[in-house]
Structure 1
């Protein structure tokens, strides 16, 4: 504990009173007024000396090592006063910069000897990645409360902030359930109508006549149906654009964070379906996670992208496609997440042509919500008319760029960030059910 002293409120008030008295000295009767500041300094020194004798306190911070971006979490601080007189103290925690906070600083509290003081406050992480709590700052008032003895106690804590896994998990489970239409997932195939043979079972009302196994029916002397399941053991590789365009904001969340959340939704569902999931990033921090199966694959993906941030360069789609082709040999579903602009009309088709030689490619372009909002508003004056015309020109150029991609990617989507997770899930399930993978 490294102590220091800061003036208390009482000392500041006494100093102010002394300064006013000094200004009024010409109007005061003669006398030994110099004794007043001397006495004040002596009392302040004695009070500080008594503050040095305050026994050291122990402090503890209880904080989760893992946080979710955009979700409030609790932090608990505990102070133990082992012996001596009762103390008045205030406690402040140096939480990560930029986080939103509720509940600090706490007002000074009285703590008797041998007792514990427990305080709590709430934090809202605003950015993913690695963050660190500083040491706790403790201020203990001296006996006359002229000073506060300040000390930094305890150690810092390293924490990690992930995408909001709770929300992602709920959406994933809802999306995987055929019976939840409000989740927005459209499941068109009935039970038993996948593409991989699963088992024989008794005929049930609603089964297709094509599903009846007539040889088994003859042997068992009762109707027997063939039950199929959706394809398993496929590979999905997310090809994530980490270029400067992904900094674009819709509300308080960037396109990049929307893309990460959508990836996690689909990755969770894919590992539940028995598929392997991998990650390839380009136009920024370069990371490669080979496709793996099971819950461990989802955890690995989460750990591999939680601190990922977009860079400031333009994406080179052809170079990225060549690099990914060297990494992925087995036929896979490549999910390209990017923001298509008209200047991509030459490079992106070449990249898709390279990928589609050996893989099924799903090209997903994120569209800014503000474009739809501007076009939905009527033009009421010159400025709004110019804005409307400029937006129309931009949207048309973007549409033409997307049209050039239709011959190179079978799966092409142009969606807003809010539509992205469910659009990905619906298209993935369609591909699974059709056997296209």
Structure 2
């Protein structure tokens, strides 16, 4: 605890010092200067004693045990004053590292025998385990001559998870049949393999071939057949933790965007009745065997929430060999990485090995700056060179992906922000095509 003079006391001392200069020219003011100095000293001593003996308010913190990455979360501090003396204070919560806040520090008054609840917003931008250490409290004296700085230990460990807020948005829009607002396309499939699920009332957008005319005549209102894709299939994420995933276009790295994407696709696939698993490589190696049930989302969150990309080079062949040993049943393997042309020599044998048993979807992350360069107006010669080089690079990238497509490899080439929606749409297309 530290007692420091406040601005009010410093201003009074400055005035008293200026009065001393005046006394040098007007000696008859010496008694006034002496008396004012004594009064100031008495006031400062009494004020310091009052603030020093002031009892700390009781402080509690309300915050969720788990927070979403890069999402604003509410934190509440409650201060209780059990004494008969009001508090004048400034409070600053010792929030976790790698976070930003809104609403701190807070300055106010806590009346006697009362409780005050104050809220601020916290946005973490790094996953993993983190902690609140305590609360910094600056108590202002009654006459505002002193500030007593105190630290109240108030430990709280929390977990920062990938952004699961998109799942809630998906669930809400799915309930209201408005998934198009997210960019998710749900089309009825032509051909075999679509299983009958149930009859329901006709909804706007249903195809005519879905209408059950016998049921319609019986109930005297339009009745549609509802179908569902084949269930009990397996999806395994093969996630690159190598140095390429350290790339960062905005507040999140490509690796963080990848985790956000697999959470949304996991939710969608589990609702379809499929089993979800994952494996990481080229860094921290983790294996989660495919499971069914919506509780799998929590298990996946706890598996990946503290994963960080490494500085290792990506070893695709070793990852494929390890996955082939662990995953015996045919599955949709979603390989997510940030690919370059020079990866072709390793990537081709990797994909060939995986396709011996599994259906492979290759998701490659593209730097957002490439799109920005193409959209930026060309004003100088250097801009033209940069535009041409970027366009040539994207053409080569597209050509490499087309070659993979000719060999039967499914792929998604997209920016990190578009990855969740693009992967969900690709998954739904695969389900409706019966490829898996």
TM bin, normalised by shorter chain, reads 0.7 to 0.9
Instruction: State the shift of 1:304 in Å.
Output: 1.8
Instruction: State the shift of 1:311 in Å.
Output: 1.9
Is residue 243 from structure 1 mapped to residue 242 from structure 2 by the alignment? yes
Find the aligned partners of 2:143 and 2:424 in 1 and give their Cα distance: 67
Instruction: State the shift of 1:340 in Å.
Output: 1.4
Instruction: State the shift of 1:432 in Å.
Output: 1.9
How many residue pairs were aligned?
419
Find the aligned partners of 1:115 and 1:182 in 2 and give their Cα distance: 47
Structure 2 contact 101–123 (Cα < 8 Å) conserved: yes
Give the corresponding residue for 1:422: 421
Structure 1 contact 193–229 (Cα < 8 Å) conserved: no
TM-score, normalisation: structure 2: 0.84
Give the corresponding residue for 1:11: 9
Which shifted more, 98-107 or 398-407? 398-407
Give the corresponding residue for 1:49: 49
Instruction: State the shift of 1:358 in Å.
Output: 1.4
Give the corresponding residue for 1:290: 289
Structure 1 contact 81–111 (Cα < 8 Å) conserved: yes
Give the corresponding residue for 1:278: 277
Distance 1:137 1:183, change over 3 A: closer
1:329-383 residue CA offsets vs partner (Å, 9 max, x unmatched): 2111100111211110101111111111111111111222332332345544311
Structure 2 contact 133–153 (Cα < 8 Å) conserved: no
Structure 2 contact 230–431 (Cα < 8 Å) conserved: yes
Task: Give the CA RMSD over aligned residues.
Answer: 3.4
For structure 2, the 5+ residue unaligned runs are 201-206, 213-224
Find the aligned partners of 2:418 and 2:51 in 1 and give their Cα distance: 61
Give the corresponding residue for 1:29: 27
Alignment of 1:284-323 (within 5 A): 284-323=283-322
1:256-283 residue CA offsets vs partner (Å, 9 max, x unmatched): 2222222111100111111111111122
Which shifted more, 26-35 or 127-136? 26-35
Structure 1 contact 134–156 (Cα < 8 Å) conserved: yes
Instruction: Give the SS at the match of 2:364.
Output: strand
Instruction: Give the SS at the match of 1:311.
Output: coil
TM-score, normalisation: structure 1: 0.84
Alignment of 1:204-243 (within 5 A): 229-243=228-242
Give the corresponding residue for 1:436: 435
Which shifted more, 381-390 or 412-421? 412-421
Alignment of 1:17-416 (within 5 A): 17-22=15-20, 26-29=24-27, 31=30, 40-112=40-112, 114-171=113-170, 174=173, 180-189=179-188, 194-195=193-194, 229-377=228-376, 379-416=378-415
Find the aligned partners of 1:34 and 1:54 in 2 and give their Cα distance: 31
Structure 1 contact 192–228 (Cα < 8 Å) conserved: no
Find the aligned partners of 2:285 and 2:103 in 1 and give their Cα distance: 40
Which shifted more, 398-407 or 118-127? 398-407
For structure 1, the 5+ residue unaligned runs are 212-225
Find the aligned partners of 1:227 and 1:107 in 2 and give their Cα distance: 58
Instruction: State the shift of 1:162 in Å.
Output: 2.2
Find the aligned partners of 2:244 and 2:63 in 1 and give their Cα distance: 35
Which shifted more, 158-167 or 382-391? 158-167
Instruction: State the shift of 1:135 in Å.
Output: 1.0
Find the aligned partners of 2:78 and 2:391 in 1 and give their Cα distance: 59
Give the corresponding residue for 2:217: none
Distance 1:35 1:336, change over 3 A: same
Instruction: Give the SS at the match of 2:390.
Output: helix
Structure 1 contact 317–347 (Cα < 8 Å) conserved: yes
Instruction: Give the SS at the match of 1:285.
Output: coil
Instruction: State the shift of 1:227 in Å.
Output: 8.9
